[in-house]
Amino acid sequence: MNDTPQDAETFANICKALAHPARIRIVRYLKAVDQCICGEIVQILPLAQSTVSQHLKILKTAGLVRGEVEGPRTCYCLDREVLEQFKKMTAAI
């Protein structure tokens, strides 16, 4: 791992995406079930659908999660590659 300001920014961005308990729980859930639709997560978390959708968007923007539309629903899964990258960066702190 590098140690440039840019690198710090990259790492900070992923941390930011994970800096909310709901998003941690989403990531863990996805890890456990491999993939699921948004509504499933809404069931699990004590949050409104729109709020969950927003959290998913944040995780997606950070690259940690991918979603693909399947008819009226969207199937979400972890991007394990990105997650591994993050783990490596963390280990290198």
Partner DNA sequence: ATCGTATATCGTCGAATAACGATTAAAGGA
Partner DNA sequence: TCCTTTAATCGTTATTCGACGATATACGAT
* Beta pairing class for 73-78 and 35-37: antiparallel
* Beta pairing class for 65-70 and 73-78: antiparallel
Judged by beta carbon, residue 30 or residue 58, the one nearer DNA is 58
Letters for 66-85 (x = contact with DNA by CB under 7 A, - = none) are -x-x-xxxx-----------
Asked if 12 touches its own copies (CB under 8 A), the answer is yes
Judged by beta carbon, residue 5 or residue 91, the one nearer DNA is 5
Q: How far apart are CA 80 and CA 50, in angstroms?
A: 25
Residues in the chain: 93
Using CB under 8 A, which of 49, 51, 54, 90 touches its own copies? 90
Other CB atoms closer than 10 Å to residue 53's CB: what's the count?
14
Where along the sequence are the contacts to DNA (CB under 7 A)?
16, 19-20, 22, 37-40, 42, 46-51, 53-58, 67, 69, 71-74
